[in-house]
Structure 1
Amino acid sequence: MEAKRPRSKVTLEAARLLGRRVALGRRERRWTLADLAERVGTSEVTMRKVERGDPTVALGTAFEAAALVGVRLFSHDASVRAREAELVDARLAVLPARTRRRAVDDDF
């Protein structure tokens, strides 16, 4: 059994908020948990974890559920998303591709 990884308070709060928003969107559409699980292509157990904000759920699964019930994660406008991706790519282009730990010479 894998050891439980510690999660920051912010991570847990964000996962819980996303899960609650997914639950709200599902209920507003009058979908059962089984309906959403089928649309996402996963099990009801996994969908329950998404709605509880379990941070161990695959990111793609949580995002797919969110998208299906109308939770806005990013702009719905494809051109806005493309522009944002270009800006991020431009910033990444000027940064080193790899980061390395700097050796610290602390011998006095």
Structure 2
Amino acid sequence: MLGKLIRVARAKRGPTAQELADRAGISRTTLSSIEKGAPGPEIGIVFEVASLVGVRLFNYDERTLEMHNARLDEKLTLLPKSVRHAVREVDDAF
């Protein structure tokens, strides 16, 4: 669905596929894959292309996004920075 939204937005804005691919720094083939919804392209590239043609990734207003972001930050502060597995002693008595 995101690929279709990108293709429609590109058609409305007017750049050719090659122009959009050049602006995004990707190949025309990669853009084609994105517009077809293929699973291959990296998500960051897909989001970048969506942004370039004006496809909104979130349907929330700025205030709501800031509130959700703050809640996620609070949850992340409660998580440990890293998890270390217990070290098992090596039984090297042969």
The bucket for the TM-score relative to the shorter chain is 0.7 to 0.9
The answer as to whether partners of 1:29 and 1:69 remain within 8 angstroms in 2 is yes
Distance 1:76 1:40 in 2: 25
Percent identity, aligned pairs only? 37
Q: How many residues align?
A: 85
1:1-108, aligned counterparts within 5 Å? 17-74=1-58, 81-97=65-81
Code of the residue aligned with 1:42 in structure 2: it is: I
Two-structure CA RMSD over aligned residues (Å): 2.3
Q: Which moved more, 1:52-61 or 1:18-27?
A: 52-61
Cα deviation per residue 1:16-52 (whole Å; 9 max; x = unaligned)?
x000000011000111110110111110000000000
| Structure 1 unmatched runs, 5+ | 1-16, 101-108
Code of the residue aligned with 1:73 in structure 2: it is: L
Code of the residue aligned with 1:55 in structure 2: it is: P
Larger Rg: 2
Code of the residue aligned with 1:88 in structure 2: it is: L
| Structure 2 unmatched runs, 5+ | 85-94
SS at match of 2:56: coil
Distance 2:60 2:80 in 1: 31
